[in-house]
A and B are shown apart, each in its own frame.
Chain A
């Protein structure tokens, strides 16, 4: 889309501005004056380059008729990203900010179209680093087929934020006839995931460095709208999807069990985990079911379509390790149980707080 209307053809609408020539962001870049315009133009507009953004009005504008081509309801979501560290194996805060919002739209059965990007920058951050993050956002947005059409930039004093926070909001259009919901699970339904769990959580914990563990584990951070399209096409009867981010698989399963008033039983044997993630969790005494993911969804489909749904996801590059991990039961309502590989059963409850590494 950006190719037909390069920025140069739009630029003459506005005064041509200087680029940004300093190495670090200062408070002046948030002051509303020329320095701020330069930062926005040079770092963000350059990277996000698209017709809706280029005029730099206070709002992006869309024709309703264009939106209505995709479905009959609007989906609207917002998410803030404060990940530490800002760069990690498999991604960075920019990629995460696009994937998170795209996925939040897609799991509702919506086609993600437009995103906003608001950044809060701590003074002193390298401009080169911001460029890198903006480029990462642009690349991820292009991969997901969405455009970043509006945004905002604030610069705060040293210590008022941790280097860089990003908020993205997103608009998508829900396909006609799709009605997904956590309340729709019924006994006999199957529960699926699209691959190996816990990679993001483990990668982030390791990347922070304070545990001094070295691993090759990379974040699974990815836009899942393509995979979800494939799933919906093969299995339009899908009842619910959610991306298993903070709180991991266990939290999403509990949310479904609670909202639908049903029980869920999963099998440890069928729950896909990478050997390294298992090792990582053994060392720190963590439970991988609670580790965050940024490229994994939990899907509930009618039992007889489980294999159809699995095969559709498995055919997508982001779903190669897709698995049917469990089933919905009559009860006990609100309870998630895991059949352990060893032969026992245990309750998989919600976590109280953040999972902390333990020694005992």
Chain B
């Protein structure tokens, strides 16, 4: 449920209505950013990667968390390779 897609805020288009332009792979759309401004000045949102759902930015993507998820998967792969290598050398 709830299709959401990452995009980057490129400009504030209407500060009063809390609207900003978001870029998704070159496709641009005006979205409401009321949910992600927090205590910041609205201009500080420019450059944020956000998750967009039905024209609303609903969450700022946490870069460190994204990297952490990928790191776990890379380690998992490496661990498997080591085990496989150990098995091969054990057999040899």
Contacts and interface: CB of A to CB of B under 8 A. Distances in A.
Interface of A: 206, 212-217, 275-276, 278-280, 282-283, 285, 358-360
Contacts of A212: 29-30
Given A214-B27, A282-B5, A359-B2, 5 more contacts: A212-B29, A214-B29, A215-B28, A216-B26, A359-B53
A275 B30 CA distance: 20
Nearest to B28: A214
B24 A282 contact: yes
B28 A213 contact: yes
Query: Which 6 residue pairs are nearest across A and B when measured between Cβ atoms?
Result: A279-B25, A276-B26, A214-B28, A360-B1, A279-B24, A279-B27
Contacts, number: 44
A280 B3 contact: no
16 contacts: A212-B29, A213-B28, A213-B29, A215-B26, A215-B28, A217-B27, A279-B5, A279-B24, A279-B25, A280-B27, A282-B25, A283-B24, A283-B52, A358-B3, A359-B3, A360-B3
A211 to B, nearest CB: 8
A214 B11 CA distance: 14
Interface string B17-59: 0000000111111100000000000000000000011100000
B25 A275 contact: yes
Nearest to A214: B28
B90 to A, nearest CB: 28
Given A283-B52, A359-B53, A359-B54, A213 B27 contact: yes
Nearest to A202: B27
Contacts of A276: 25-27
Contact of A285 (B3, B27, B30): B3
B2 to A, nearest CB: 6
Nearest to A357: B3
Contacts of B54: 359
A127 to B, nearest CB: 35
